[in-house]
């Protein structure tokens, strides 16, 4: 079996060693679901200049792309990341805006909002997959950044946990749809519920729901 890929702090350390302190990782979740918002998180860790290969013991161990983690692991890491992070920001784009500006733009906007909601603005941004334009600081883009870059992976965990909790709340409002199980993704059960009950106000009308 192939070894599990673990994110590293290489990119952050290069920037810290250049004299920067406020390096933010940012990522979004919820691009594919048929219902619910897009959520992004931004996270800044204090500089750690230890050896390149290891994650310092003061930082959460086991950080991965949120899709690679169990629910229990994500919940634990969400708490640990928030406890040690220098700063955290969350950005969210609701369904009405997703339908108005399209899902691609909604993902970019959610990430920008997450950065704007940090208590300090970063000196450099590390982002998964896409360039954020018109930032007041440089931005480095990493393909599969949530797999390889520690701060981006941490942001993916915060965003996933935050969005999942929102979907659980929506499940209480719309129990027929099973949001707490599939988080709004287009499962067979979800599409069956759409056929039976029709879309709710939290479904993305710009998506092909059936």
Q: Phi and psi of 93, rounded to 5°?
A: -120, 120
For the chain, what percent of residues have pLDDT higher than 70?
Answer: 96
Note the pLDDT tens digit of each residue in 156-188: 999 999 999 999 999 999 999 999 999 999 999
CA-based torsion, 139, 141, 142, 145: positive or negative: positive
List, in sequence order, every residue forming a beta bridge with 88; answer none if it has no partner.
43
Question: So where are the chain's domains?
Answer: 10-197
**Using CA atoms in the order 52, 156, 181, 204, what is the torsion angle rounded to 10 degrees?**
-160
User: Superfamily for 10-197?
Assistant: Ribonuclease H-like superfamily/Ribonuclease H (3.30.420.10)
Residue 154 has pLDDT above 70, yes or no: yes
198 — pLDDT class (breaks 50, 70, 90): very high
Longest dimension (CA), the chain: 58
2 — pLDDT class (breaks 50, 70, 90): very low
Report the predicted TM-score, pTM, of the whole model to 2 decimal places.
Answer: 0.95
Residues 78 and 98 sit within 8 Å (Cβ to Cβ): no
pLDDT for position 51? 65
Q: What is the C-alpha to C-alpha distance for residues 138 and 112, in angstroms, rounded to an integer? A: 13
């Amino acid at each position: 079996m192939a070894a599990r890929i673990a994110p590293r702090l290489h990119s952050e350390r290069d920037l810290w060693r250049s004299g920067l302190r406020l390096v933010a990782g940012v990522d979004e979740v919820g691009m594919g679901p048929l219902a619910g918002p897009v959520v992004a998180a931004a996270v800044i860790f204090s500089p750690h200049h230890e050896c390149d290969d290891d994650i310092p013991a003061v930082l959460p161990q086991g950080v991965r792309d949120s899709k690679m983690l169990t629910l229990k692991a994500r919940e634990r890491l969400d708490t640990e990341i928030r406890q040690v992070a220098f700063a955290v920001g969350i950005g969210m784009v609701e369904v009405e805006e997703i339908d108005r500006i399209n899902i691609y733009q909604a993902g970019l906007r959610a990430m920008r909002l997450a950065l704007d909601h940090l208590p300090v603005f970063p000196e450099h941004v590390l982002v998964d997959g896409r360039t954020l334009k018109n930032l007041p600081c440089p931005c480095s883009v990493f393909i599969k950044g949530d797999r390889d870059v520690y701060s981006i992976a941490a942001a993916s965990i915060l965003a996933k946990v935050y969005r999942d909790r929102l979907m659980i709340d929506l499940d209480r409002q719309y129990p027929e749809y099973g949001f707490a199980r599939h988080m709004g993704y287009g499962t067979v059960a979800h599409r069956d519920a759409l056929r039976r009950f029709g879309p709710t106000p939290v479904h993305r009308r710009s998506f092909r729901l059936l």
